[in-house]
Structure 1
Amino acid sequence: MELSHVAIWVTDLDRSLDFYEALGFERSWSFTDDGVENVYVSGDGGELQLRHDPDRTTPIAPTRADTDHVALGVEDEAAVEAAVERSRDAGGSVIDGPHVVEPADAYAAFVEDPDGYTLEFVTSLEGDQ
C-alpha cells in the first residue's frame, strides 16, 4: 500500500496554488464536485489535494492538536534551507528550524502555509557523519 494523497481545505485557491507551486509542486489535475473545487498538485512521490468551497461559511482552522504536520522529504540539508526560503517568499511563516533532530537522525524545518497547515521539510542525515 502507498499513500496516494492528502486533502486539505484552503480559503483562497489561487494563493494556495501559488504557494505550493513556489515549493516545486506542479498542478496535475482538477475537478469540481457539488461546487467544491479540487485541485491536485504533485511532487515526487505523491499528491496534495487542495479543496476550496467558495460558499463555505465555517472557518478553516488547522491545529497541530489534531493533525500535527505534513512531512515533505527533500534531498539534503541545503534543500531543507531552500524550501524554507521559498515558503517564506511565497507567504509562509517559519515555525521551527532548520535544525538537526538527533533522535530521528534528520535535518528538518517546520513552516506554516497560508492557511496555517504545518509542513515539515526533512532529510535524513544517515551516512552524513
Structure 2
Amino acid sequence: MDLAHVAVCVSDLDRAMAFYEALGFEETHRFTLDGVENVYLGQDGDPSLQLRYDADRTTPIAPTRADVDHIAFTVDDVEAQFEAAVDAGGAPVLEPTEIEAADAYAAFIEDPEGYTLEFYRTQ
C-alpha cells in the first residue's frame, strides 16, 4: 500500500496555491464536487497534496498540532526550502536543525492556513 496524497482544507485557494507553487509544487489536476473545489498539487507529475476549498463553509479552518501534528516532505536542501517557505509567507516553527534521534536534518514551518510542514533529509 502506498500513500496517495494528503488533503487539507483551505480558506483561500489562491493564497494556498501561491504558497505551495513557491515551494515548487505544480497543479496536476482539479475538479469540483458538491461545490467543493479540489486542486491536486505535486512535483514531477505525482500529486501529493490536495487542497479542498468550500466557499460555503461556515466553520473556521483551525488546524492545530494536537490534531494533525505536521505534514513531512523530503527535500535535498532543507535551508533553501525553509527560506522559500518563509519568503512565500510561511511562519517559522523550528529553523533547520539536526534531529539526532531521527538521524535527520529538518525544519518546520506553518503554512498560511496554520498547517505545520516539515522539510527534512536523512543523514
TM-score (normalised: structure 2):
0.96
CA shift for structure 1 position 66 = 1.0
Does the aligned pair in 1 maintain the 2:22–2:84 contact within 8 Å? yes
| Aligned counterparts of 1:55 and 1:67: Cα–Cα separation in 2 | 23
2:98/2:104 contact within 8 Å kept? yes
Tell me if 1:15 matches 2:15.
yes
Give the partner amino acid of 1:47: S
Gaps of 5+ in 1: none
- Do residues 111 (structure 1) and 109 (structure 2) align? yes
> What pairs with 1:1-129 in structure 2 (closer than 5 Å)?
1-43=1-43, 46-75=47-76, 79-125=77-123
Quick one: distance in 2 between partners of 1:46 and 1:26?
9
Deviation beyond 4 Å, 4+ runs, structure 1: none
Question: What secondary structure, in the 3-state scheme, does the structure 2 residue paired with 1:84 have?
Answer: helix
Secondary structure at the counterpart of residue 61 of structure 1: coil
What percent of counterpart residues are identical?
61
Kindly tell me: are residues 2 and 103 of structure 1, through their superposed partners in 2, closer, same or farther at Cα, counting changes over 3 Å? Answer: same
Unmatched segments (≥5 aa) in structure 2? none
Post-superposition offset of 1:46: 4.6
User: Given that residues 29 and 39 in structure 1 are in contact (C-alpha distance below 8 angstroms), is that contact kept between their aligned partners in structure 2?
Assistant: yes
